[in-house]
């Protein structure tokens, strides 16, 4: 099998590695690069726990091939300090105790980051839509939506 050399920016740092054409981005992040915040949930695009930002847009890393990351900029929760909104959201969720088990947290925070980077004054409806693809089994979503609203209000 032909191996590929890929390079991308991961949380602000350049990384360079060799992957197989069929390697999945989620597995490479977790297994080869030690990035554990994107979680393995459904592994088929349904739950959003594997969400990362690629060039500022959320993607399901369980559905992306590692070769697709070549030349891109990837941000995970480990790189929260590289994004203003990610940092604020993380702080707000913590202050409000908005998560319980926290399994959904990295994906929800990155989906909310994408939203607030596009629209820093979202409505409740916008917020619910933005996180609609991120399943949370614990909270019923209300505290999550409130935390995102409050993070957006804080200037």
Binding residues for ligand FES (CB under 6 A): 40-43, 45-50, 60, 62, 99-104, 136-139
Instruction: For ligand FES, give the closer residue by CB, 47 or 145.
Output: 47
The answer to whether 98 and 106 have CB atoms below 8 angstroms apart is no
Packed helices 105-118 and 142-153: angle between N→C axes, nearest 10 degrees: 40
Sequence-ordered list of residues with C-beta below 8 angstroms from that of 42, at least 6 positions apart, any chain: 49, 62
Closest distance between ligand FES and the C-beta of residue 145, in Å?
13
In the complex, least distance from residue 121 CB atom to ligand FES, rounded to whole angstroms: 25
CB 66 within 8 A of CB 74: no
Exposure on the CB side of residue 149, measured as CA atoms within 13 A = 11
| Choice between 2 and 44, CB closer to ligand FES | 44
We find the least distance from the C-beta atom of residue 35 to ligand FES, in angstroms, to be 14
Q: Which residue lies nearer to ligand FES by CB, 87 or 139?
A: 139
- Closest CB to ligand FES among residues 49, 113: 49
């Amino acid at each position: 099998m032909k191996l590929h050399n890929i390079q991308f920016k991961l949380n602000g740092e350049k990384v360079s590695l060799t992957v197989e054409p069929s390697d999945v981005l989620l597995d490479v992040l977790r297994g080869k690069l030690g990035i554990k915040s994107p979680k393995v949930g459904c592994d088929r695009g349904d739950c959003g726990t594997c969400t990362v930002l690629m060039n500022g847009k959320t993607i399901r890393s369980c559905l992306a091939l590692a070769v697709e990351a070549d030349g891109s900029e990837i941000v995970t929760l480990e790189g929260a300090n590289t994004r203003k909104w990610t940092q604020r959201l993380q702080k707000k969720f913590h202050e409000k105790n908005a998560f319980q088990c926290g399994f959904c947290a990295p994906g929800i925070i990155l989906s909310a980051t994408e939203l607030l980077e596009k629209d820093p004054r979202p409505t409740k409806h916008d917020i619910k839509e933005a996180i609609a693809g991120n399943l949370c089994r614990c909270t019923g979503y209300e505290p999550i939506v409130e935390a995102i609203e409050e993070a957006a209000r804080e200037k």
